[in-house]
């Protein structure tokens, strides 16, 4: 006879149910639809970039796109995971854990911005809900501006 006990998360687990755990594990950390749409448009503008790369070798954080010679780092932030002021809604299950996690992500984002800027990088952040064409245009303009003024890119 099989055990009829419903699944319970391990002690200290971040998932409140097995279904929640599967959902959370399925969320992509890279190559999301907004990232792909923006990358496609930026590529169509003739710009080349690295994806999911570390702008600074000693910083264990990756940008969604980097333009190394121009020192431009692009992040396309998810509304939930990065606490979008327009769209973030605290979850009903385990709100203490998830709100704390999102707050930590926001703090890490600010720290990343500061470290990159101190190293002479231009940091561009976009929300996943922003129009891809507008994001791509902003990225292209910034990269072209930094390329035309190399001293800006060199810090």
Mean pLDDT of 32-61: 96
* Start-to-end Cα distance in the chain: 69
Hey, what domains does the chain have and what are their CATH numbers?
A: 30-148 (3.40.960.10)
| DSSP state at residue 66 | E
In this structure, what token pair is assigned to residue 49?
A: 């970039």
As beta bridge partners, residue 72 has 67, 122
Q: Each residue of 123-151: pLDDT tens digit?
A: 999 999 999 999 999 999 999 999 998 66
Classify residue 62 by burial, with Cβ atoms within 10 Å: 0-12, 13-18, 19+: middle
Tell me the whole-structure pTM to 2 decimals: 0.79
Do 58 and 79 form a contact (C-beta atoms < 8 A)? no
Q: Each residue of 15-45: pLDDT tens digit?
A: 556 665 666 555 656 778 999 999 999 999 9
**Coil, helix or strand for 88?**
coil
d(CA 3, CA 29): 35
**Sheet order of strands, 122-127 included:** 50-53, 63-67, 72-77, 122-127
pLDDT at residue number 93: 79
Q: Each residue of 61-118: pLDDT tens digit?
A: 999 999 999 999 999 999 888 888 888 878 777 778 888 888 999 999 999 999 999 9
Query: What is the band of 51 on the pLDDT scale with cuts at 50, 70, 90?
Result: very high
């Amino acid at each position: 006879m099989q055990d009829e006990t419903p699944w319970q998360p391990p002690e200290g687990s971040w998932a409140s149910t097995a279904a929640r755990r599967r959902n959370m594990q399925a969320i992509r950390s890279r190559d999301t639809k907004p990232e792909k749409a923006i990358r496609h448009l930026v590529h169509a503008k003739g710009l080349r970039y690295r994806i999911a790369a570390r702008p600074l070798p000693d910083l264990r954080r990756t940008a969604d796109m980097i333009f190394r010679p121009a020192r431009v780092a692009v992040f396309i932030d998810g509304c939930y995971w990065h606490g979008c002021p327009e769209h973030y809604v605290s979850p009903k299950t385990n709100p203490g854990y998830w709100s704390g996690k999102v707050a930590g992500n926001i703090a890490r984002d600010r720290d990343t911005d500061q470290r990159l800027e101190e190293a002479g990088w231009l940091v561009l952040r976009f929300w996943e809900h922003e129009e891809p064409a507008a994001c791509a245009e902003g990225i292209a303009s910034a990269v072209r501006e930094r390329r035309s003024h190399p001293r800006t890119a060199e810090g």
